[in-house]
Structure 1
């Protein structure tokens, strides 16, 4: 169950192979502790007036959206500190794309333009509904894989607030017996991000604030850095997680020459900065 683009294979994960793929991940994480994550979800239905954008308001608006909607996909790219991906003894390199069954496009809230965009990129919502993994089982396996509550793991996102929010909603429901809702305030949310994802969290969208001439979304930043994304499948969580890793590696090489340079910006989620 893999789709090839270049030398990287996307391991497409459904209900039928969820356990087997986590077995591979458990084998890999000791050697590949840098985890780049991307998610696909049904868009944003509540918008915030730009005049009121500040962390607490941004969080309240995100909570209003995430509380009412379902995750569609999670992409994970595992790498070592040099950017190498797991090969499992083959000539290919592997990333993961998890597909979930909870979202029903015929009855659940969504932003129509976001759904149309995902469909134009090949998303099959009927297939996800029929064959996707159960997200509660996914977070159980994620919790016991060694990826969470582990300060040896480095988590990398691009504009990652919604990525973390959808994960926190399900993780806190399953393991902290909370309602399947985000916590009421931003401070509690950021505490849960640190609790589940550890100390080493990097949001590349925040990092580029300190990189001259870099701005915009993932595509623009990647292009500005001269990265080759000819094989990228835009708006596919697996592919986007790989591009996020490549951007992180390149800005680290160009702008943050030591780990200490980067440490100044650890643990900050773009748009939710609390200092």
Structure 2
């Protein structure tokens, strides 16, 4: 899973310890801004993507209509980057997905509250932050705010996404010679990124899956080597 959102407008508070500080900053940003795009790549345990009986393989990318670049808070440099990558904010406003309908269908999809499904992100704090906010719409039907503390937030993440969550940004701390962002890690592992659309959530979610499967093959040979890192969201590690 990957998301695109309007950037970061609130910065850190040095008076808090790191994980709580990171959560406070993430919460402040997510609470006041709107999700732009979600990408999901579904696969079986062997990395095979669905074909639906065709010669194609499928991933999902949802553009939402809620965000209005003309009046909603955003970081201008983040919006400029998304525009350079082909994001059409006017089209999203006119033809994008309704966020409440998306939340309803996600809850009915079987993907959530299901401990048989593994969720994989890269530097996923904001991904889970925005998704928890979106899914909370389903229950509150008002503009929800994230919980005031990190512990309660992680409980909501576990409720919606189950017990098996992997953040590849956390995992690469245990992989020699791997560092940096998604593009850097992907290139170091030998993947060809020339044809993909960086900063498009669908494309990025596919790369996250490929990177996860490759580092699992190279660095996490025993099942329990990987399992001990479940439930850790990079930057929000509970000490």
User: TM-score normalized by structure 2?
Assistant: 0.96
Does residue 159 (structure 1) correspond to residue 94 (structure 2)? The answer is no
**How far did residue 177 of structure 1 move?**
6.4
SS of 1:98's equivalent in the other structure is strand
Q: Which residue does 1:60 correspond to in 2? A: 24
**Cα deviation, residue 52, structure 1:** 6.0
Could you say which residue in structure 2 is the equivalent of 1:186? 150
Runs of 4+ in structure 1 off by over 4 angstroms are 49-53, 176-179
Which position in structure 1 is the counterpart of 2:229? 265
Structure 2 match to 1:141:
105
For 1:125-136, what aligned pairs fall within 5 Å after superposition? 125-136=89-100
Q: What pairs up with 1:200-211 in 2 under 5 angstroms?
A: 200-211=164-175
Q: Deviations over 1:127-184 (max 9, x none)?
A: 0000001011101100110000000000000000000000111212322667511110
Aligned partners of 1:53 and 1:118: how far apart in 2? 32
Q: Say yes or no: does 1:79 pair with 2:43.
A: yes
1:238 to 202, 206, 219: 202
- Describe the SS at the equivalent of 1:175: helix
Give, in angstroms, the shift of residue 260 of structure 1. Answer: 1.4
Separation (CA, whole Å) in 1 of partners of 2:162 and 2:141? 20
Moved more, 42-51 or 108-117: 42-51
**Shift of residue 262, structure 1, vs aligned partner:** 0.3
Unaligned residue ranges in structure 1 (runs of 5+): 1-36
Q: How many Å separate the matches in 2 of 1:165 and 1:94?
A: 25
Report SS of the residue matched to 2:112. coil
Aligned partners of 2:217, 2:140: CA distance in 1, in Å? 39
1:232-258 Cα shifts (integer Å, max 9, x gaps): 100100000000001000000000012
Whether the aligned pair in 1 keeps the contact of 2:2 and 2:39 (CA below 8 Å) is yes
CA-based RMSD of the aligned residues comes to 1.4
Query: How many Å separate the matches in 2 of 1:172 and 1:178?
Result: 9
SS at match of 2:32: coil
Given that 2:100 and 2:137 are in contact with CA atoms closer than 8 Å, whether structure 1 keeps it comes out as: no
Distance 1:182 1:51, change over 3 A: closer
Change (3 A) 1:101 1:218: same
Give the structure 1 partner of residue 7 of structure 2: 43
Figure out how many residues of one structure are paired with residues of the other and give that number: 239
**SS of 1:272 mapped into structure 2:** coil
Which structure has greater strand proportion? 1
What are the superposed Cα offsets for residues 97-131 of structure 1, whole Å, 9 maximum, x if unpaired?
A: 00100000000000000000000010000000000
8 Å CA contact retained: 2:103, 2:137: no
Question: Which residue of structure 2 lines up, in the alignment, with residue 256 of structure 1?
Answer: 220
Structure 2: stretches of 5+ with no match in the other structure: none
Cα distance in 1 for partners of 2:210, 2:231 equals 20
